[in-house]
Amino acid sequence: MLYKRNLQLNKHGELIHLLSTEGLPRGIITQVLDTASNFVSVSDREVKKVPLLRGKSVFNLFFENSTRTRTTFDIAAKRLSADVINLDIAKSSASKGESLLDTIANLSAMAADIFVVRHGASGAPYLIAQHVAAHVHVINAGDGRHAHPTQGLLDMYTIRHFKRDFANLTVAIVGDVLHSRVARSDIHALTTLGCAEVRVVGPKTLVPADIAQMGVRVCHTLEEGIRGCDVIIMLRLQNERMSGALLPSSQEFFKSFGLTPEKLHWAKPDAIVMHPGPINRGVEIDSAVVDGQQSVILPQVTFGIAVRMAVMSIVAGNGS
């Protein structure tokens, strides 16, 4: 996928857009995580701001609704002292029949610096990155089933924070892998960082047939999937995306793949449990696990701000 890698990097190999963790060199991922670790402390300070993006304009372009993800980018940009423009695209000129690229060209002409893009169509942020002016940087905040790279990077930050080294880790990704852009972004990043074993765990209807090609081990029982694991990433059961044919019921799913305190014993005693949120308690994960000692779900949220600050400050510093 040389093409995609080139689009994200300039000729010096520096990050100018973040579109996918696929094709992102290990050095760039490490740069993001190292930069983020400096920003984690910013959120603990009395004055939670650094002037790195002062006078820059960050446009949140959410073609698909996501208050949660938009809020994390909003906070991250404001803590970098940027001006943030939140565009509710459903209400905008798009509804007057203007094309995506005309909307983007117009916003570029307003001297935008960063576009944060959430779009229902896989690949939309690529299309945008190919057409923006040279001074504009694009960050993918989730496109269709394709990628959610800042979630992937904050997951890597979380794993590194709690487990230090990827070389000896076994990581299980459990649940609705089929519809999950998070799973894809995690797998690419884990592979690049040299994770010893990545397992993909779920019923056959929710695991893509060709996923083994990504270098993962496919498991169709939870016990096989998480036994001896260091890290368990539970995926949200995307009720709204599934047709009834894929799953008998959410109760059935919980019985087979829902993570309970008892089943968690299959993993290593110091295994950590992650979830990208929002959580369906009692559907893919039991409340006792969410609130238990091995859960690092809330630290993920905290690290997510720092990782987004890192990505924005890095791309803004690199010319095309």
Please select the residue that binds a second copy; options are 21, 60, 72, 140, rule is CB under 8 A: 72
| Smallest distance, a second copy to C-beta of residue 27, A | 26
Contact 144, 226 (CB under 8 A): no
Contact 138, 129 (CB under 8 A): yes
Pick between residue 204 and residue 281 the one whose CB is nearest to a second copy: 281
| Smallest distance, a second copy to C-beta of residue 283, A | 9
What's the rounded Cα separation, in Å, for the pair 73 and 36? Answer: 14
Please select the residue that binds a second copy; options are 13, 26, 27, 71, rule is CB under 8 A: 71
- Alpha helix stretches (DSSP H) within 164-296: 181-192, 222-226, 250-257, 261-264, 287-290
| Count of C-beta atoms within a 10 Å radius of residue 227 | 16
Pick between residue 2 and residue 109 the one whose CB is nearest to a second copy: 109
| Smallest distance, a second copy to C-beta of residue 195, A | 25
What's the rounded Cα separation, in Å, for the pair 4 and 22? Answer: 8
* Contacting range for a second copy; rule: CB under 8 A; set: 38-46, 122-130, 143-151, 174-182: 38-46
Pattern 191-230, a second copy, x by CB under 8 A: ----------------------------------------
What Cα–Cα distance (Å) separates residue 203 from each residue in 171, 214, 278, 289?
18, 18, 21, 21
26-40 and 149-163 are packed helices; what angle lies between their axes, rounded to 10 degrees? 70
Pick between residue 42 and residue 214 the one whose CB is nearest to a second copy: 42
Contacts of residues 6-12 at CB distance under 8 Å and 24 or more positions apart, as own/partner, are 7/126, 7/129, 7/130, 8/129, 10/318, 10/319, 10/320, 12/318
Pick between residue 19 and residue 307 the one whose CB is nearest to a second copy: 307
Pick between residue 192 and residue 295 the one whose CB is nearest to a second copy: 295
What's the rounded Cα separation, in Å, for the pair 185 and 149? Answer: 6
What's the rounded Cα separation, in Å, for the pair 165 and 169? Answer: 8
Phi, psi of 115 (to 5 degrees): -105, 125
| Smallest distance, a second copy to C-beta of residue 210, A | 29
Q: Does 280 bind a second copy (CB under 8 A)?
A: yes
List binders of a second copy among 92-121 (CB under 8 A).
Answer: 92-93, 96-99, 102-103, 105-111
Q: Does 46 bind a second copy (CB under 8 A)?
A: yes
Please select the residue that binds a second copy; options are 45, 204, 255, 265, rule is CB under 8 A: 45
**DSSP 8-class letter at 295:** B
Which chain residues interact with a second copy by CB under 8 A? Answer: 43-49, 54-57, 65, 67-68, 71-72, 74-75, 78-79, 83, 85, 87-89, 91-93, 96-99, 102-103, 105-111, 239-240, 277-281, 298-299, 301-302, 304-305
